[in-house]
Structure 1
Amino acid sequence: MQDKSEVRLTAAEMSTLWSQYINDSASVCVLSHFLEKVEDDEVHPIIEFALNTSKRNLSLLNELFQKEDFPVPIGFIEEDINPKAPKLFSDTFVLMYLRNMAVLGLAASSLSLGIVTREDIFTFHNDVLNSSVKLQYLSRELMLIQGTYVRPPFVSTPDKVDFVENQQFLGGILGKKRPLTTVEITHLFINVQTNAIGKTLILGFAQVAQKKEVIQYLLRGKQLAQKHEDIFSDILKKADLPAPMSWDSAVTDSTTPIFSDKLIIFLVSAMITAGIGNYGTAMAASPRKDIAIKYASLIPEISLYAEDGADIMIKNGWLEEPPQSDDRKKLAKKEYE
């Protein structure tokens, strides 16, 4: 039987492995700072688990890339972090960040498992998925114990099964609107929470960023995140449902540079990418027209913000190119109009 690991990497496998390497190299920088500055003895082992997982992933990926004669990405290195910098985020917020990171890891690994082919690549992503499951479990359990876990809203259990009888279920832009479905509530809650986390991260990053254009970009992002958080919170409140709490107080007053501007912009870009995906999913899952239209109107706004972030990275030589398809025109050395 042919050794499946001798089959060339597909474009999908290159994509997932390259992205995993970049993300884990960024995680090692961030988690190293968290581990160095953590004060809570219960949070310490969870950060350590996440850091060791990212380091293990990088080691396995390095071996795989070398075996495949695939250029190892640069990603992020020791120069992208200042280990002597003071603490920037509270341990409570770090725990919240770890759980959010685990949820994003679950989504990315699930997608990767669905598109990779080789057995060794499948096994790698399956291990990454299992680590994300464990990180999500550990962080959630400790948050429950410490009383910092914010549950989604409760609603009454239905009395019976109902079917939609007319178009009023879809609602209109103006006028009376039907109550929110549990699916709509869930997505609104998630998007309030992720914007709150993003706003706090950006707030901290703005204090320690160095380039003026990066600081201005971050302050704009903070306003954008606050705007979106308010919009989704308002929809929940109008339905007499609670919105997640804010995390603004989780940032210290430190202004000492910790992370390079390159790493900061990358982390913000990763949050935006996840946010666009969340909005798209929420829009598709929200039958009420006013809510779907609201998501549709916000996606171009954050997409433009993401493009401006990419422009900053390109201008400063920070944007590492992912693997691409062959340029057949260039290979053929022909000129085309």
Structure 2
Amino acid sequence: MPKHPKMSASELGALWVTYQKKTMILRLLELFIEKADDPRGKDLMTGLWKKLRLKVVEIEKLFEAEGAIAPKGFTQEDIYLDVPKLFADHFDVMLCRILKEISMGMYVLHLTISYREDIIKLYQELSMLTQTYYYYFTQYLLEKGALLHPNHAPMPTSYDIITSRDYMKGTNFFGHKRPLNAVEYGLLYHSIETNIIGKWLMTGFAQCAKDDAAKKYFKKGQELSDKILKDTLEVLMEYELQPTTLGGTVTLSTEAPFSDKLMMFCSFLLCSFSLGGQGFSTSFNFRNDLDIKTVLFGKDIYTFTRDGVSLMMSKGWLEEPPSMVH
């Protein structure tokens, strides 16, 4: 085995975050596999679990080789397999698909702060695995009718140049708005798609959380998703664009399948992903009214996320990343 240079701080931090996220996903998959009704969906999630488990072991060995302890992450203490099913109608695969979206972005970031050959290779392999299963999950949901294709737009037959700042205006003096372009539509559509999943997730978590403060927090998350969905759907409906409809439901169960710690971390992860998405949208929305909406959404999501971090700290649910000093 070739001798590698000592692990850098940036590589340590990236692996620490990756381990937290992967161990959480393993616990989610274990529950979803146990409760799965559809054999094909179960097979897909089982295949992903097996491959991710090997990567978690690989990360543990990287820590061990450095004389470092791996994070605690999430263990069998954070999952309760003997409770009734909380989510139904393909929600399991829908959430897995969203988690693969998050993973794709995180691996790109982690690749850019990794320098050791073996660690770069790890993230390359994780990226390939994630893209493969994102494709599998997307095709599965489309075939099941739980995920719909976005609307179509007229195909351009020539190129046009923007010559007036009026293109950036959401309204003019007569109250007419410049029609959405395909880029703006795609960003709005993605926001709706992810917030529907977020709403169902927060609804389920609020329904079963054991801690009263966590229960209230998840209810706030449900309300925030509702607000973002309402404001975003209004933009699409102005042009009679059919908004996305997804499968996925929450059952009547009030028994938690996960620890409050895991559910809070899952919420934190999705909120962080949403914040990144809002920032990306401001770069590609040309209409100023859309930018204003996006900035306001980002402010609300940021506040909600920080409130969640404070709650996790107060409950002893937030593991501390490695420090730069002893």
Match of 1:306?
Answer: 305
| The 10-residue stretch of structure 1 (268-277 or 316-325) with the greater mean CA deviation from structure 2 | 316-325
How many corresponding residue pairs? 324
CA distance in structure 1 between the aligned counterparts of 2:212 and 2:146, rounded to whole angstroms: 35
Matched, 1:121 2:119: yes
Task: Give the letter for the 1:211 counterpart.
Answer: D
Aligned twin of 2:259: 260
| Mapped pair 1:286 → 2:285 | yes
Task: State how 1:172-321 maps to structure 2 within 5 Å.
Answer: 172=170, 175-245=175-245, 247=247, 250-321=249-320
Q: What is the distance in 2 between the residues matched to 1:259 and 1:6? A: 38
Out of 90, 97, 100, the residue aligned to residue 98 of structure 2 is: 100
Q: CA RMSD for the aligned pairs?
A: 1.6
Q: Distance in 1 between matches of 2:271 and 2:104?
A: 17
**Alignment-derived partner of residue 17 in structure 1:** 15
Amino acid at match of 1:151: H
**What are the equivalent positions in structure 2 for 1:28-43 lying under 5 Å apart?**
28-43=26-41
Tell me the distance in 2 between the aligned counterparts of 1:142 and 1:179: 33
- Amino acid aligned to 1:230: K
The 10-residue stretch of structure 1 (153-162 or 195-204) with the greater mean CA deviation from structure 2: 153-162
Is the alpha carbon distance of 1:42 and 1:246 closer, same or farther for their aligned partners in structure 2, counting shifts above 3 Å? closer
* TM superposition score normalised by structure 1: 0.92
The aligned counterpart of 1:333 is none
Contact 1:43 1:91 in 2 (8 A): no
1:122-174 Cα deviation digits (max 9, x unpaired): 11111111110111111112122222222122111123211112111111466
Which is further off, 94-103 or 128-137? 94-103
SS at match of 2:119: helix
- Counterpart of 2:82 (choices 76, 84, 98) is 84
Contact kept, 8 Å, 2:271 with 2:301, in 1: the verdict is yes
Mapped to 2, the partners of 1:113 and 1:272 lie a distance apart of 22
Structure number with greater CO (CA < 8 Å, separation at least 6) is 2
TM-score w.r.t. the length of structure 2 is 0.95
In 2, are the aligned partners of 1:265 and 1:313 still within 8 Å (CA)? yes
Q: CA deviation at 1:325?
A: 1.8
Which residue number in structure 2 is paired with residue 52 of structure 1?
A: 50
Per the TM alignment, residue 81 of structure 1 is displaced from its structure 2 partner at its CA by 0.9
8 Å contact kept, 2:167–2:178: yes
Q: Which one is further off, 171-180 or 222-231? A: 171-180
**Secondary structure of the residue that 2:214 maps to in structure 1?**
helix
1:257: Cα distance to partner? 2.0
Extract unaligned runs of 5+ from structure 1: 328-337
Matched, 1:110 2:114: no
Q: CA deviation at 1:293?
A: 1.2
| Structure 2: runs of 5+ lacking an equivalent | none
Deviations 1:214-244 (A, max 9, x none): 1111111101001001111111111221211
For 1:324 and 1:240, how far apart are their aligned partners in 2? 52
